[in-house]
Amino acid sequence: MSCEASPRFAVDGARAQRRVAFQVEAGPRLPGTPGHERVRAWIESEIRRLGGRVETQTFTDLTFGKPEELRNVIGHWGPPATERGPLVLCAHYDTRPVCDEDPDPAHRADPMPGANDAGSGVAVLLEVAELMVHRPPPAPVDLVFFDGEDQGRPQAPETYSRGARGYAARLPSPRPRAAFLFDMVGDKDLGIYSEATSVERAASLVDLVNEGARAMGAKSFHAEPRYHLTDDHIPLLDAGVPAVDIIDFDYPAWHTHRDLPDQVSGESLGEVSRVAAWIVYSSPLSRLR
């Protein structure tokens, strides 16, 4: 077990759960809506409050044939990047415009509340920031909050992950050393299995996540692969950045009106946050060179 045992990473699952509730209360986070703007501004203010430097990456997306402004939010911590570039932890902050998987047809046109998808990933990243304000990371760390992940059309995978595509087209120099995507990680019945595309294209990072889970005693992480997923890690992999998707896709409330804070557990958020902290502070990638 790593000498950086879990008591060294004093994360607060209840605080993370409150952050999930705040995002849902803000309203649907669809680009161009008040809820989206409120949460984006809140993320930026939290980064500043927690000692990070804010970068807002604004670009025009033409996926659907008309210009749409998207904004990724990036928080920078730690020493200046070396030739290896920053370690990236990422999540998306937008929510799906419809509940297209809802078993009740009356709700399928409703905008999704987005507690677990995407509130949980945002909460985990900010919980890591709560640590970094008191304990600067040994290597440069970027927390990247993607816009436009969940605005796509079923059967058209190229219409998803638009914020991640925009980021991958504008990678910093030096390029990130590795990226860890946190998506749907707050399920109260948490079960995170290795994502199959990550295993095929970034096996060493998958092994590293599982090592961190063992070091932190994170019982909800499982090494065996399950599901090939189209998610924000794919544009990063395609751009040559090693990336892994940390996700619990066995979530009954996925893309339904029931994706509410009562489906999210502070215990689950705390467990994932400790693994994320291990990656930042104790993994081989945490070394400056």
Other beta carbons within 10 Å of 286: 17
**Distances, alpha carbon 78 to alpha carbons 68, 243, 286, in Å:** 33, 20, 11
CATH number, span 6-286: 3.40.630.10
At 288, is the pLDDT very low, low, confident or very high (cuts 50, 70, 90)? Answer: low
Q: Where are the domains of the chain?
A: 6-286
pLDDT band at 2 (very low <50, low <70, confident <90, very high): very low
- Tokens describing residue 188: 């109260």
Q: What is the pLDDT of residue 207?
A: 98
CA distances in angstroms from 117 to 59, 113, 149, 252, listed in the order given:
23, 8, 10, 12
pLDDT of residue 82: 76
Tens-digit pLDDT profile for residues 216-249: 999 999 999 999 999 999 999 999 999 999 999 9
Encoded amino acid at 216, one letter: M
Residue 251 clears pLDDT 80, i.e. is over it: yes
Give the mean pLDDT of 16-37: 97
Using the 8-state DSSP alphabet, how is residue 106 labeled?
A: G
Task: Round the average pLDDT of the chain to a whole number and report it.
Answer: 94
